[in-house]
Amino acid sequence: MLILLYLSYLSTNSRPAKTSDFQWRGTVPSPKILEALAEAPVLGVGWISDGVPQLAYASQTELYIRENETFVNRTNSADFSNGYSSSENWQSLVWGESVIFNNGVDVPQIREPADTEFKALPN
């Protein structure tokens, strides 16, 4: 039913889906999965990579990817071993099969399909 309503919304508004259509702020739909996390989500995003649905979110200082039915901390440990600067202003962008997160303070972070962790977005 929800999919039909969404498709109806898209057809009546005559615009393509944007990344922001698939983002959430605050509480996510699966609170049971998040109970064990140290930090609450600030922003989350979903996308498709190699035909597989992906899900990621930012807390105030960490970035997580859903792997094997649980969220795993995939913060860039090489450059941010203590986490990113605390921010509730995270933004994200899906670029092809990659996802980019930016908190407006630190260097934007990207995770490409072959990466384990996020890394600094190259110039």
pLDDT (tens, 9 = 90+) of the chain, 123 residues, equals 333 333 333 334 433 444 444 555 544 445 455 556 667 889 989 888 888 888 899 999 999 998 887 888 999 998 898 889 998 899 999 999 999 999 999 999 999 999 999 999 988
Q: What is the pLDDT of residue 50?
A: 83
Q: What is the pLDDT of residue 36?
A: 62
Are the C-beta atoms of residues 71 and 65 closer than 8 Å to each other? yes
pTM of the predicted model as reported, rounded to 2 decimal places: 0.70
**Size of the chain in residues:** 123
Q: In 32-107, which ranges are E strands? A: 43-49, 52-58, 63-67, 70-73, 91-95, 98-102
Q: Residue ranges per domain, the chain?
A: 18-120
Q: How many CB atoms lie within 10 A of CB 115?
A: 13
Q: What is the pLDDT of residue 63?
A: 95
